[in-house]
Amino acid sequence: MGQYFADIVAAVGSAMQGMAITFKHIYKKPVTLQYPDERQVMPERFRGFVHNDMTKCDACNICAKLCPVDCIYIEAEGKAKERVMTRYAIDYNKCIWCSLCTENCHTGSITMSHDYDHSVYDRRSLVYEFMDPRVAKIPCHRATRIEQGWWVEPKEDKPGAGDKGDDA
Ligand code: SF4
Ligand code: SF4
């Protein structure tokens, strides 16, 4: 009989505890976002999908060589001043968001974006092509880039960056 009343007291206590938590939060602002209509604002240093600004990239290959999972694909043709990039792609299936590529890019073209949403039905869609050589082949040589009006990194802002794309 004693255990019976002890169980009742424990059950009522437990219910009261639950209700106390409920009442504590009942007038608080909801934290649920109505995704996808509402999006989370990510912290400044959040590592989302890697993005490359192709106007700044000169196919120096540093990012591809440093990538620990080999998910950056760069293709180029021609030599010296004639060298042009024909493919820059990232396989998001393999990327581990380590940021090695972004931290070592000498032009600052590749960055960790705040984009976290790339739902797809086919994994092949996660191999993201950043350029279409049928639209434009991107010159790699510094002099050619300057001549054709492509972005060239300000050397004074990147000490030691040098002309890494010249003979790569
Ligand atoms: S974040 Fe890391 S894994 Fe992803 S592309 Fe850059 S170097 Fe490769
Ligand atoms: S390190 Fe930067 S400039 Fe060099 S290929 Fe990668 S993204 Fe382009």
Is the CB of residue 98 below 6 angstroms from any atom belonging to ligand 1?
A: yes
Atom 8 (ligand 2): residue with closest C-alpha? 57
Residue 14 has pLDDT above 60, yes or no: yes
Pocket test for ligand 2, best of 51, 86, 103, 105 (most atoms within 8 A of CB): 105
The pLDDT of residue 162 is: 41
User: CA 155 to CA 116: how far, in whole Å?
Assistant: 32
Atom 2 (ligand 1): residue with closest C-alpha? 98
Query: Which residue bears the tokens 């994994």?
Result: 123
Is the CB of residue 57 below 6 angstroms from any atom belonging to ligand 2?
A: yes
Does residue 117 belong to any structural domain of this protein?
yes
Does residue 29 belong to any structural domain of this protein?
no
CA of 61 to the centre of ligand 2 (A): 6
Here the CATH number for the domain that contains residue 117 is 3.30.70.3270
Does residue 6 belong to any structural domain of this protein?
no
The pLDDT of residue 144 is: 94
Does residue 28 belong to any structural domain of this protein?
no
166 compared with 128, residue with greater pLDDT: 128
Does residue 90 belong to any structural domain of this protein?
yes
Is the CB of residue 109 below 6 angstroms from any atom belonging to ligand 2?
A: yes
- Tell me what the mean pLDDT of segment 162-168 comes to: 39
What ligand has the least distance to the C-alpha of 49? Answer: 1
The residues, ordered by sequence, that sit 6+ positions from 108 with a Cβ below 8 Å of its Cβ are: 56, 153, 158
Atom 4 (ligand 2): residue with closest C-alpha? 60
pTM for the model stands at 0.77
Query: pLDDT-based confidence at 165, cuts 50/70/90?
Result: very low
In the chain, the largest separation of any two C-alpha atoms, in whole Å, equals 95
pLDDT digits (tens, 9 = 90+) for 94-123: 999 999 999 999 999 999 999 998 889 999
Does residue 72 belong to any structural domain of this protein?
yes
Atom 3 (ligand 1): residue with closest C-alpha? 95
User: CA 165 to CA 160: how far, in whole Å?
Assistant: 13
Query: Which residue bears the tokens 């490359």?
Result: 52
Does residue 18 belong to any structural domain of this protein?
no
pLDDT digits (tens, 9 = 90+) for 49-72: 999 999 999 999 999 999 999 999
pLDDT digits (tens, 9 = 90+) for 109-162: 999 999 998 889 999 999 999 999 999 999 999 999 999 999 987 655 544 444
Answer whether 110's CB lies under 8 Å from 51's CB. Answer: yes
Indicate the number of domains in the chain: 1
Does residue 80 belong to any structural domain of this protein?
yes
Domain that holds residue 123: 50-157
